Amino acid sequence: MEIKRDKYLEKIISYMWDGQVKVITG
């Protein structure tokens, strides 16, 4: 359960980072 949640959090964080980078570079 914990490992699954960690993967989920990692996915969300990477998604958010991707959006931030696009905003900064865009």
Q: What is the mean pLDDT of residues 2-26?
A: 86
Which letter does DSSP use for residue 26 in this model?
-
Q: Residue 1: which pLDDT band, with cuts at 50, 70 and 90?
A: low
Which one is predicted more confidently, 10 or 20? Answer: 10
With a cut of 70, say whether residue 6 has pLDDT above it: yes
Q: Residue 10: its pLDDT value, please? A: 94
CA 1 to chain CA centroid, Å, is 19
CA 12 to chain CA centroid, Å, is 3
**The pTM is what?**
0.47
Which one is predicted more confidently, 3 or 14? Answer: 14
For the chain, strand residue ranges (E) read none
